[in-house]
Each structure stands twice: as C-alpha cells, then as structure tokens.
Amino acid sequence: MARSARSKKRKRSKQRVKAIPEEPFKEEPISPLVRKYWLQRYSLFSRYDEGIKMDEEGWFSVTPEKIAISHAQRCGGGVVIGVVIDCFTGVGGNAIQFARMGYHVVAIDIDPRKVQLASNNAKVYGVEDYIDFIVGDFFKLATSLKGDVVFLSPPWGGPAYRTIKNFTLDLLKPKDGYSIFQVAQKITPNIIMFLPRNVDLQQVEELSWLSSPPLNIEIEANYVQCNLKGTTAYFGGTAFGKLDVS
Ligand code: MGP
Ligand code: SAH
C-alpha cells in the first residue's frame, strides 16, 4: 500500500533516537569486489540513480529490493500498523521497504557509517520520517527494545559465504544464529530471519524448537530473475501470513 494512502493513519508520535554523524559522506570508488553488485544496482535499489549511497559491505549485503518488499508484505501485508525492529540495518534495503509498507521502523546498526548511508537512502525513498535510526550494538540494546516484529539480517561473513557447502548457523556474525535468535525472542516471537541460500535448513527448523511450545515456522527461497539469492525463515505470527499486531 502506498505511503501517501496511509499517512492519515500514521499519527503516532515519533520518538526519534537519531545519532547520525554529521561529517560529509565520501563515496567509495567501485572496487573489483563491488563491481559485480554495482552491475545489479537497479535490482538492489530501483531508485539507485536518485542518490542512493553505499559502502563496500553495503554493496554485498543489501537485500535486493524485490526480496525486501516481499519481507515487508509478509509482515501482515500492510493491513495493520506496527513496529518493526530491523536489528542489522546496513544501508537500509529492508528498513526502507518496511517503512514504505506502513510500519514504523527502529533501525539499528553498529556501524555509524551504515546508519548515515541508510538515512540518506531512506530520504531518497521519502520514508525517513518513519524510521528511528540508532547507532548501537543490537545485543546491548535488545533488553530495551519493544516491537511487533523483529527482522534479522546479520552478517554472513562476506561474499565467501557461498564457497561453503552447508552454511551452519554458527557461521553467522557477530554471534552464532542460535544466540541471535534467542536474543530476538526476548522481544517478540514474530521474527523474520534472512539467511544464505546454502544455509543448513535442518538447523533453521531447529530454531523454532528453542521456544516452548515450538514456534510456527515457514521457510522461503528468495529469487531475483530466477537466481536464488537467499533463504527467509518466518517465525511465530509472521509464518503463514498470520501476523496480527492490532
Ligand atoms: P552474493 O551471493 O554475494 O551475490 O549475495 P550473487 O550476485 O547472488 O552471487 P553469485 O555470483 O553467486 O550469483 C547474494 C545476496 O545475499 C546479496 O544481494 C545480499 O542480499 C545477500 N548477502 C550476501 N552477503 C555476503 C550477506 C551478508 O553478509 N549479510 C546479509 N544480511 N546478506 C548478505
Ligand atoms: N538488511 C541490510 C543488510 C544488513 S548487513 C540491508 O538490506 O541493507 C549486516 C549489518 O549488520 C552490517 O551493516 C553490520 O554493520 C551490522 N552489524 C554487525 N554487528 C552488529 C551488531 N552487533 N549490532 C547491530 N548491527 C550490527
């Protein structure tokens, strides 16, 4: 649903926790590593030419726009308004689409530069007023966070992740996938986790058993133009499109 159509419903007071560095942003040149991702720039951000800014990690980590839109649609299809916590925001690929779908977003990244980039990119999409950016460590902030959905797209260890045959959850950064999931569960059982395409699916299913009773889980393969890009696990109310945060 278009943001403009929903604006009247969005009267909740905004609690800004902005901590964005003021220094001017210097764009990095397109390195050989980045070139492959730069060639895919319009599938990463369709408004790339309108002023999107990236850094090297941002290039190889950002969720392609089509997948980020489907993550946001699965959060209740925009029917209900709620708060999504994007715990590993990066350059904002997911946070922007959650905000466009009508959610209020708390966007956290440990790297101040990422928050600066994500804030810039949110402005390109006209949704900066719907996102509270926080520079900080998700694990330290977790106990003070409240939200209806937690979105997790942690680092996978760089582009070399794809050389691994079976990507086990202990390879996620900065902590293993079980620890990340357990911290997220203290906020809400409605968790969406974006994982590598070669992730160990049995281990992903086991995450749902960490809760008693076990959480609902639905696992989805994510494609862009027939190319498999990642795996998304939907837990709790986000599985089977049953989220209701009203
Ligand atoms: P990729 O496998 O590096 O690229 O990343 P591609 O073009 O599929 O490579 P190919 O040559 O094998 O076809 C694919 C997607 O995974 C990226 O667009 C990101 O959305 C996501 N991704 C990749 N990495 C290394 C990370 C990461 O560290 N963290 C997160 N959250 N996402 C990542
Ligand atoms: N979904 C994002 C990509 C996330 S990449 C997008 O679409 O743009 C993973 C991010 O996690 C990186 O930007 C990294 O800086 C951040 N990160 C790593 N450790 C963190 C921590 N402890 N707390 C918060 N963010 C962290």
* pLDDT value at residue 1: 42
Of the two residues 241 and 61, the one the predictor is more confident about is: 61
* pLDDT value at residue 211: 86
Write the CATH number for 152: 3.40.50.150
Region 196-201: mean pLDDT is 98
* pLDDT value at residue 7: 45
Phi then psi for residue 131, to 5 deg, are: -125, 125
170 assigned to some structural domain: yes
34 assigned to some structural domain: no
Mutate to test the pocket of ligand 1, among 40, 55, 156 (most ligand atoms within 8 A of CB): 156
Residue 11 has pLDDT above 50, yes or no: no
206 assigned to some structural domain: yes
27 assigned to some structural domain: no
33 assigned to some structural domain: no
93 assigned to some structural domain: yes
Specify the pairing of strand 227-235 against strand 191-195.
Answer: antiparallel
At 226, the amino acid letter reads: C
Domain with 81 in it: 3-15+40-241
185 assigned to some structural domain: yes
Residue 204 has pLDDT above 70, yes or no: yes
30 assigned to some structural domain: no
Averaged pLDDT score across all residues of the chain? 89
Q: What is the pLDDT of residues 59-100, one digit of tens each?
A: 999 999 999 999 999 876 445 669 999 999 999 999 999 999
Q: Which residues line ligand 1 (CB under 6 A)?
A: 60-64, 153, 155-156, 158-159, 161-162, 194, 227, 229-230
At 136, the amino acid letter reads: G
Closest alpha carbon to 86 in 48, 43, 133: 133
Cα–Cα distance, 175 to 187 (Å, whole number): 17
Could you identify the atom of ligand 2 that is nearest to the CA of residue 194?
Answer: 1
Residue 236 has pLDDT above 50, yes or no: yes
Q: How many domains does the chain have?
A: 1
* pLDDT value at residue 9: 42
Q: Cα 214 to chain center, whole Å?
A: 24
Mutate to test the pocket of ligand 2, among 88, 176, 180 (most ligand atoms within 8 A of CB): 88
Could you identify the atom of ligand 2 that is nearest to the CA of residue 155?
Answer: 9
Q: Which residues line ligand 2 (CB under 6 A)?
A: 57, 61-63, 88-94, 108-111, 114, 137-139, 153-155, 174
